[in-house]
């Protein structure tokens, strides 16, 4: 019986991006979740408590406890990131006392995705398949071919020695609102739609400096579906995001109310963060 329940726990290696493996850990309600890193330290990427399918953690459960597959709350991310990040192992109980119950009566599970950040931080380029908030199809800005000095990679050569440069390959796609590769020093705001998460990160030797962070909505089209009308709906969450991210090389953020009070409860919102790497 117990063995069966434990057998439900699946450990899937999801993706292997530049040597950093993301692990998806499912732990059924009532059990203890154990996050471990054989090498490096834990960096929680997402955490969902609830139920999104009928099969997971279903052994011996009556049908009425499995019927709701639209049950999800993502706020555990903040708790777990605080509790587990930077450690080599981390255990916590999966239960309704420690985490808000999003659907009483449903038997739930915790779905945590985390990676083991290598001890000497890998200065990898950003994984291209992270949370891409598909931007509204606005026409690209007119400046298509950038001049010679494009955004330099990690090697910051002073601009004095300009040897005959080979023409830069036109790689920079002119998409507008997608978050830029986190390794570059940038002040362009990152948009994290409600319920999504994103990782701000800097190249090796640099740390995050948050400029501004707002949660809410200031236009109709960002983070679809488009919203026809909405009340004034922007809260500054700069202080909390600064506390959370400043001085770190990487920082997991969630599009959620948990950084401030919700000023417009029924509106689909997003987190806007502008930052740089110092």
Distance (Å, rounded) from C-alpha 114 to C-alpha 44? 4
Q: Which of 23, 44, 49, 56 binds ligand NAG (CB under 6 A)?
A: 56
Stretch that binds ligand NAG, among 51-59, 124-132, 217-225, 260-268 (CB under 6 A): 51-59
CA 118 from centroid of its chain's CA atoms: 18
Q: Which of 41, 78, 85, 113 binds ligand NAG (CB under 6 A)?
A: 113
DSSP state of 127: P
For residue 178 the two structure tokens come to 């997608």
For residue 35 the two structure tokens come to 């996050």
Q: State yes or no: residue 91 binds ligand NAG (CB under 6 A).
A: yes
Distance (Å, rounded) from C-alpha 38 to C-alpha 88? 7
Q: State yes or no: residue 256 binds ligand NAG (CB under 6 A).
A: no
Closer Cβ to ligand NAG, 48 or 214, answer by number: 48
Residues 7-26 interacting with ligand NAG (rule: CB under 6 A): 9, 24, 26
Residues 165-194 interacting with ligand NAG (rule: CB under 6 A): none
Distance (Å, rounded) from C-alpha 168 to C-alpha 176? 20
Q: State yes or no: residue 73 binds ligand NAG (CB under 6 A).
A: no
Q: State yes or no: residue 41 binds ligand NAG (CB under 6 A).
A: no
Q: State yes or no: residue 70 binds ligand NAG (CB under 6 A).
A: no
Closer Cβ to ligand NAG, 196 or 249, answer by number: 196
Distance (Å, rounded) from C-alpha 87 to C-alpha 82? 10
What minimum distance in Å lies between the beta carbon of 174 and ligand NAG? Answer: 29
Helical ranges in the chain per DSSP H: 2-8, 76-84, 238-245
Q: Which of 16, 18, 53, 105 binds ligand NAG (CB under 6 A)?
A: 53
Strands (E), the chain: 11-17, 20-28, 32-36, 41-51, 71-73, 89-93, 109-117, 190-193, 197-201, 208-217, 233-236, 250-254, 270-277
Q: State yes or no: residue 52 binds ligand NAG (CB under 6 A).
A: yes
Q: Which residues contact ligand NAG by CB under 6 A?
A: 6, 9, 24, 26-27, 31-32, 34, 46, 48, 52-53, 56, 91, 111, 113
């Amino acid at each position: 019986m117990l063995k069966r329940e434990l057998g439900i726990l699946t450990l899937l290696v999801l993706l292997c991006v530049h040597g950093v493996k993301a692990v998806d850990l499912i732990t059924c309600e009532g059990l203890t979740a154990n996050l471990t890193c054989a090498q490096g330290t834990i960096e929680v990427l997402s955490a969902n408590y609830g139920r999104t399918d009928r099969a997971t953690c279903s052994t011996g459960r009556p049908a009425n406890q499995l019927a709701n597959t639209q049950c999800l709350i993502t706020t555990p991310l903040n708790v777990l990131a605080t509790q587990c990040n930077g450690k080599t192992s981390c255990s916590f109980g999966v239960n309704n006392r420690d985490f808000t119950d999003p659907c009483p009566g449903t038997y739930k599970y915790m779905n945590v995705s985390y990676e083991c950040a290598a001890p000497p931080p890998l200065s990898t380029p950003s994984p291209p398949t992270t949370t891409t908030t598909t931007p509204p199809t606005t026409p690209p800005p007119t400046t298509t071919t950038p001049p010679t000095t494009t955004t330099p990679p990690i090697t910051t050569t002073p601009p004095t020695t300009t040897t005959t440069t080979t023409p830069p390959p036109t790689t920079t796609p002119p998409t507008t609102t997608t978050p830029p590769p986190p390794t570059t020093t940038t002040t362009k705001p990152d948009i994290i739609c409600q319920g999504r998460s994103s990782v701000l990160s800097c190249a090796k030797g640099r740390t995050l400096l948050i400029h501004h962070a707002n949660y809410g909505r200031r236009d109709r089209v960002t983070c679809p579906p488009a919203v026809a009308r909405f009340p004034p709906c922007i809260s500054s969450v700069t202080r909390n995001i600064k506390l959370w991210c400043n001085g770190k090389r990487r920082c997991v953020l969630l599009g959620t109310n948990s950084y401030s009070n919700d000023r417009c409860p029924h509106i689909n919102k997003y987190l806007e963060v502008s930052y740089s790497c110092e």
